[in-house]
Structures are given as C-alpha cells and as structure tokens.
C-alpha cells in the first residue's frame, strides 16, 4: 500500500513535471516560432536591403566611373590650363624682367638728367643773382640818369626862360628909353600933339611886352614843375609872339 501511494505521488509529480515540461515546450515552440518569424522577416529585409545595397553599389560604381572620367578630363584640362598658366607666368616674368631692365635704364637716365638739371639750375640761379645785381645796378644807373636828365631839362628850361626874359626885358628897356625920350620932347607945346599918338603906342607896346614876359615866366615855371613831378617830353621851347615896335 505504501509503495502504491509513493508511486502515485511520483506519478503525480511526473505528470506535473510532464505538464510543466509540455508547457515549457509549448512556450519554447511559440517563442521559437516568433523568433523564426522574426528571423525570417529580418532575413527577408536583409535580402531586400542587400538587393538595394547591390543596386546602390552598382549606381555608386557607375557614378564613380562617371566621376573618374570627369576627374580625368578635368585633370587633363587642369594640366593643360596649368601649362598655359606656366607659359603665361613665364611670359609675364620675361616681360617684367624687360620692364625692370627698362626701368633701371630709365632711372639711370633720370639720375643723369636730374644731375644735369641740378647743375644747370645752380648755374642759372647764380646767373639770376648776377642778373638781378646787374638789373639793380642798371636801375640805380637809370634812376641816376633820370635825375641827371631832369636836372638837365630843368637847366635847359631855365636857360630858355632866362634867355627869353632877358630878350623881353631888353625890348622893354629899349622901349622905355624911347618912351622917355618922346615924353621929354612932348614937353614942348608945339610937339605935344604930334608925339601923343607915338607915346600911347609905345606905352601899349611896353604893356604888351610885360604881359608877354609874365606869360613866358609862368609857362616855363609850369614846365619846370611838370618835369620835377616826373612828366616827360616837356623839353619844348615856348613859341613867342614877335611884337612889332611902333
């Protein structure tokens, strides 16, 4: 009896273990199915991605080939342009060398011209100083000549004035002598009527000569004053009216 109970207990335990194992198996199978489905999905996705990656790889390969060809073409063009640029640089370098040589020559010519200019300028400056000294001396001499000319003109005008004054004074003196003689003769009653007209004529003549004398003196004094004031071309002899004696 005891063995049966023990066996039943063991059977019950085994049954429970089998049930538990079955449940675990079912769980594992379910989980495995899910995992398999997930793996299959991942495999499918991986295959699709692989196809996409392959297509992308082909596209990238084609793009790379296109870019390589383009790069090679650009490389050729760049090499060609680089060669052209080097030729241009060489040409510009040669041109710059020629320009530098020309500039150097021009600078030497400029220095020579500058030295010549400075020498000439100094020489001209010295000559200018000498000319200015000569001009000043000439101006001083000219002023001295002008002063002497003024003195000479004044002297000539005074001589002309004195000559004319002396001449008119002489005429006046002679006329006054004649007038006194006539007046002395006119004291006689018989001669008075005859001599009166002559006396009047001589008196008028003497008056005109004195007026002429005053006019001559005033005119020559005016000319002398004009010469002193710097007026030129005043050295002209005064025209006098010849007075006829009675």
pLDDT of residue 11: 76
CB contact burial 171-186 (16+ within 10 A = b; e otherwise): bbeebeebbeebeeeb
Q: Is residue 80 part of a domain?
A: no
Tokens of residue 34, six digits = 């899910």
Q: Is residue 164 part of a domain?
A: yes
Number of domains in the chain: 1
Q: Is residue 162 part of a domain?
A: yes
Q: Is residue 120 part of a domain?
A: no
Closest residue by Cα to residue 219 from 153, 148, 164: 164
Q: Is residue 172 part of a domain?
A: yes
Tokens of residue 15, six digits = 């049954």
Query: CA separation (Å) from 200 to 180, 182, 212, 213?
Result: 12, 10, 18, 20
Tokens of residue 31, six digits = 């989980």
Cα–Cα distance for residue pair 52/62, rounded to 1 Å: 15
Closest residue by Cα to residue 205 from 239, 240, 172: 172
Cα–Cα distance for residue pair 214/162, rounded to 1 Å: 12
pLDDT of residue 62: 86
Closest residue by Cα to residue 24 from 16, 217, 46: 16
Q: Is residue 6 part of a domain?
A: no
Taken as a whole, the chain contains a residue count of 246
Secondary structure class of 227 (helix, strand, coil): helix
pLDDT of residue 103: 85
Residues of the chain with pLDDT under 70: 1-3, 52-53, 189-193, 241
Q: Is residue 212 part of a domain?
A: yes
Domain housing 211: 145-229
pLDDT of residue 219: 92
Q: Is residue 19 part of a domain?
A: no
């Amino acid at each position: 009896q005891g063995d049966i109970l023990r066996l039943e207990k063991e059977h019950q335990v085994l049954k429970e273990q089998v049930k538990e194992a079955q449940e675990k198996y079912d769980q594992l199978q379910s989980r495995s199915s899910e995992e398999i489905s997930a793996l299959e999905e991942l495999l499918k996705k991986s295959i699709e991605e692989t196809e996409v990656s392959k297509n992308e790889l082909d596209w990238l390969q084609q793009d790379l080939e296109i870019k390589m060809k383009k790069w090679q073409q650009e490389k050729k063009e760049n090499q060609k342009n680089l060669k052209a640029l080097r030729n241009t640089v060489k040409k510009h370098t040669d041109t710059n060398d020629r320009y530098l040589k020309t500039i150097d020559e021009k600078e030497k010519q400029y220095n020579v011209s500058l030295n010549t200019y400075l020498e000439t300028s100094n020489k001209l400056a010295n000559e200018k100083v000498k000319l200015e000294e000569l001009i000043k001396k000439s101006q001083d001499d000219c002023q001295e000549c002008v002063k002497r000319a003024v003195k000479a003109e004044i002297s000539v005008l005074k001589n002309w004035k004195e000559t004319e004054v002396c001449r008119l004074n002489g005429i006046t003196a002679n006329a006054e002598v004649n007038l006194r003689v006539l007046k002395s003769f006119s004291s006689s009653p018989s001669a008075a009527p005859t001599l009166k007209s002559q006396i009047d004529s001589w008196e008028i003549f003497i008056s005109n000569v004195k007026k002429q004398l005053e006019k001559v003196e005033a005119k020559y004094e005016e000319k002398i004053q004009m010469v002193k004031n710097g007026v030129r071309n005043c050295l002209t002899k005064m025209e006098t009216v010849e007075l006829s004696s009675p």
